[in-house]
Chain A
Amino acid sequence: MPRSGWDPTEDSEQGTLTATASSRIKRDLMTIFTDPPPGLFVVGDELNLKIIHAIIVGVMDTPYEGGFFYFVLKCPNDYPIRPPKVKLMTTDAGNVRFNPNIYSSGKVCLSILGTWNGPAWSPAQQLSSLLLSIQSLLNEKPYFNEPGLVQEQIPGDSKRYNEFIQHETLRVSVCGMMENQCRLSIPEQLKDIMGKTFLEFYDQYVEIAKNNMHLDGTEMIDPFNKGRHLCHYKNLLLRLEKIRAKVMGKTWNFFKEPSCTNVDLKERQTNEEAKCSSTIAS
């Protein structure tokens, strides 16, 4: 019986997982836990074994660098006979299309998911291989992911598309995700990983923002989606610094010595913030 629709959040399949499916999902998760592929984090849903939450961190030297791309997956009852359904939740509430193959609706166009032409799903695939395939869509030159675009339509299109993605990565998938602007129900374990990864990438974020500051005020055009966006790196830098102070505060709170009071902590945070805004001003 074919399952219509690609959206895991609107999937109507009832019933329970087969014995093979539930053990296989656990095995797939275990494989990722014991041998975690770089930039790939997963956690099973607490209430429903069919549902898996995943964060793909944008790979270095791509316009997605350091971004947090949150996916929700739902396995069918007969997994791995049929593939899971996958949705990207990091879309600024359906406003940003992060890739020619990943729509602003969150739909991921990938042949192994049955949402595109090409090699179909095979039960030899597993969660890690599927997520790695999705990660590979978030590459150095996503412009050329668009089928049929082997050449730029207008010279410089690919570079301009990268600039757009880089800005939106910082705005939506770094700042937006860390502030959880869109109120996504991201599992706590993944939030912790995001906090830790944020600090690791922080210097890169700042560098990207500073290197692109000259673009501020210019209009970015996404050739694959309607809507125009204004570049606003100055504002992003400010947000990044605020997020950093908050994350540092949390970490500090976690490891704080017994003598450190909350007052100390608040003072520290305000100092941090004051320091940030002074950097901005200069």
Chain B
Amino acid sequence: MSEDPENVEKMEGDSAKPDRMFTLKKWNAVAMWSWDVECDTCAICRVQVMDACLRCQAESKRDFYGKQDCVVVWGECNHSFHYCCMSLWVKQNNRCPLCQQEWSIQRMGK
């Protein structure tokens, strides 16, 4: 883009030293990222899996020092939920709430 004014000036054959319209001195690159998982909202409490689940959020409100570590759990079906939410559900029915497959844990973490 900055070359355009130069070209115009050359074509017109005006001054020897081109006058730049502007110079780029600095820029800030912004990058976005998201977790590469199939489901990023916990279907049980409807909060992002990377945030604490509703229960942990409510409890940490009450308890200032006791910081809750709300982990995420992935099933063999690749669906992810909060561990807290899922542990309540599997007691009721040991199936993935989304695909109804038998629930078995693939991995856990954050």
Contacts and interface: CB of A to CB of B under 8 A. Distances in A.
A124 B58 contact: no
Contacts of A23: 45, 54, 58
A82 B92 contact: yes
Contact of A124 (B55, B59, B88, B97): B97
B59 A123 contact: no
Nearest to B62: A19
B106 to A, nearest CB: 18
A82 B55 CA distance: 16
A18 B53 CA distance: 12
A120 B93 contact: yes
A229 to B, nearest CB: 42
Contacts of B53: 20
Contacts, number: 45
Nearest to B61: A19
A27 B100 contact: no
Nearest to A82: B92
Q: How large is the interface on B (under 10, 10 to 19, 20 to 34, 35 or more residues)?
A: 10 to 19
A20 B100 contact: no
B46 interface: yes
Interface in A65-114: 78, 80-82
A119 interface: yes
Contacts of B88: 78, 81
A24 interface: yes
Interface in B65-88: 85, 88
Interface string A12-29: 000000111001100110
A25 to B, nearest CB: 11
B43 A123 contact: yes
Interface in B19-63: 43-46, 53-55, 57-59
Contact of B44 (A19, A28, A80, A119): A80
A277 interface: no
Contacts of A126: 46
B104 to A, nearest CB: 17
A24 B92 contact: no
Pick the most buried of A27, A82, A124: most chain B CB atoms within 10 A of its CB: A124
A118 to B, nearest CB: 12
Contact of B89 (A27, A28, A81): A81
Interface in B88-110: 88-89, 92-93, 95, 97-98, 100
Interface of A: 18-20, 23-24, 27-28, 78, 80-82, 119-120, 122-124, 126
Nearest 3 A/B pairs, CB to CB: A19-B58, A124-B43, A124-B97
